[in-house]
A = this chain, B = another copy of it.
Amino acid sequence: MFGSRQFTSEVLEHCQTCSIRLTSVCSALKEEEIGGLAEITTLIKADPQETIFYEGDPADHLFNVTGGGVSMFKLLPDGRRQITGFLFAGDFLGLALHDHYSYSAEAITGATFCRFPRNKLEVLLDKYPKFEKRLLQTASNELAAAQDQMLLLGRKTAQERIASFLLNLSQRAMRRGQAGDKVDLPMSRADIGDYLGLTIETVSRTFTRLKKEEVIELPGVHEVVILDRAGLQDIAGFSAEDPVAAVAAF
């Protein structure tokens, strides 16, 4: 299913030194408990555009993204695609704990993961209620994000969508400890369109427009500089991804 290299030997020490441990679901486990997770972990690497799993596949594994970027998406029979979310280092992949995946996932550029067998992870969840609680919290966050995205898709204009998207990416990058004003866009215009419910042309035109209005700068196709954050927030409709509220939730 996917031609990924695996390297199980380094796993145990990996968890100890893992840079994203504190920002991921793993933070629910104490130093002496993390070994149980490490034991069932396989380190995985996916190439650019490589599919991690398909919608409808038996949901045998769950993942923690440790590097790179991932997109989750659903397809209509005629090929129309909706990306339901982008995941980056520290994000959990595989929520919606059903027998079968309800969406597909693929690497945007490259990506690395910790992969956990679902049945073994469930044993661990039973053993450590805090871990389960953390997962519920993660699911809650995902749910709130999904509701924001529904507002975006159902009611925002193209410009508002792009503005919201950039602010959202910027904010998440900041949480991962990166600069907030220089936003990395690892995904293609097609990916952005399929995430925001727009065509690539509209995405492109809207970027150009925001550039003309001097709200952003586009040093490269995969790079945006936010020149006027307040202006961008104003355009975005502001409420949904309000940084203050988002921080207060933690």
Binding site for B on A (CB under 8 A): 56, 72, 74-77, 80-82, 84, 95-100, 102-103, 125-126, 129, 132-133, 135-137, 139-144, 146-151, 153-156, 194-197, 237-240, 245, 248-249
Contacts and interface: CB of A to CB of B under 8 A. Distances in A.
Given A82-B151, A146-B150, 4 more contacts: A74-B151, A77-B238, A149-B150, A150-B153
A155 B76 contact: yes
Given A133-B132, A136-B135, A151 B97 contact: no
Contact of A82 (B56, B103, B155): B155
A20 to B, nearest CB: 22
A185 B179 CA distance: 48
B150 A84 contact: yes
Contacts of A135: 136
A249 B155 CA distance: 30
Contact of A155 (B56, B80, B147, B248): B80
A156 to B, nearest CB: 7
Contacts of A143: 95-96, 139, 142-143, 146
A154 B156 contact: no
Contacts of A197: 153-155
A17 B233 CA distance: 51
